[in-house]
């Protein structure tokens, strides 16, 4: 029970990597507040945890709204008495060539992938400071390391997650921890957001051919969280062996 007595919030916990993380954390002994913009999906994850004997609750959250992030952390502290880990995992990826001029989708990626992480930090940081402990785990992407056609804006948002996380780590002091989890191709609903049919087909094919199960990323998160309090795992990159 590596995470016994921990209290964790998982954003984007209704599906994919977030759901896998919430389920694993609960099996490892944590109490989990599952947050997702799809409230019913968050509720299903929490129900699955409780059915297996774990401790969980759910919260409908739009990470692009700072007030909702603040309400989430307040609800967590009220219900469980503390917050040990914030998994800033919610993200979207409606990737497309810049020539498509899908400006609304660019804005949405900035709002969710960048502002969503900042809103989570703003909501949890005062709680962590007051407790004298806490761990931020922010989900980036291998797209933050390698830029490919159609992924310019998405890559930029995930580079921002890495930059924000490193700045936070340097400011965190000796009692807080910051980890970036960097997944490669993972078998999630990532392609569902893509409007460009050619790009959507390419991503779907890659996901089918060599995508990792979301649980692989969840285990990387749990590894970082389970380290001794004085050990801060800065970044974990997890790729399928077949990914270039």
Would you name the residues annotated as active-site residues?
A: 154
* Distance separating alpha carbons of residues 59 and 43, to the nearest angstrom: 8
* Distance separating alpha carbons of residues 87 and 23, to the nearest angstrom: 13
Can you tell me whether residue 12 is helix, strand or coil?
Answer: coil
Nearest to 170 by CA among 122, 206, 136: 136
Give me the phi and psi of 234, to 5 degrees please.
Answer: -70, -45
Give CB contacts under 8 A, 24+ apart, made by 1-4: 1/28, 1/29, 2/28, 2/29, 2/222, 2/225, 2/226, 3/28, 3/29, 3/30, 3/222, 3/225, 3/226, 4/28, 4/29, 4/30
* Distance separating alpha carbons of residues 188 and 174, to the nearest angstrom: 35
* Distance separating alpha carbons of residues 163 and 117, to the nearest angstrom: 11
> What is the CB neighbour count within 10 angstroms for residue 198?
11
> What is the CB neighbour count within 10 angstroms for residue 235?
18
**In sequence order, which ranges of the chain are alpha helices (DSSP H)?**
16-27, 39-51, 66-80, 103-109, 116-131, 152-172, 197-210, 214-225
């Amino acid at each position: 029970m590596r995470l016994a007595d921990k209290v964790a919030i998982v954003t984007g916990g209704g599906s994919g990597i977030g759901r896998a993380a919430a389920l694993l954390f609960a099996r490892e002994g944590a109490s989990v507040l599952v947050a997702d913009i799809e409230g019913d999906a968050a509720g299903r994850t929490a129900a699955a945890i409780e059915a297996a004997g774990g401790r969980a609750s759910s919260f409908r959250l739009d990470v692009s709204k700072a007030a909702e992030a603040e309400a989430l952390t307040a609800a967590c502290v009220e219900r469980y008495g503390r917050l040990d880990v914030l998994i800033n995992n919610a993200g979207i990826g409606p990737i497309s060539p810049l020539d498509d001029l899908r400006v609304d989708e660019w804005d949405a990626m900035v709002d969710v992938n960048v502002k969503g992480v900042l809103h989570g930090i703003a909501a949890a940081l005062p709680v962590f400071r007051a407790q004298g402990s806490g761990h931020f785990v922010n989900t980036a992407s291998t797209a933050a390391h390698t830029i490919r056609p159609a992924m310019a804006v998405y890559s930029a948002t995930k580079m921002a997650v890495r930059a924000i996380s490193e700045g936070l780590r340097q400011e965190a002091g000796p009692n807080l921890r910051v980890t970036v989890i960097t997944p490669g191709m993972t078998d999630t609903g990532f392609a569902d957001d893509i409007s460009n049919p050619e790009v959507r087909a390419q991503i779907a094919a890659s996901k089918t051919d060599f995508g990792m199960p979301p649980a692989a990323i969840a285990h990387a998160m749990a590894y970082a969280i389970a380290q001794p309090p004085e050990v801060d795992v800065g970044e974990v990159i997890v790729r399928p062996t077949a990914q270039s």
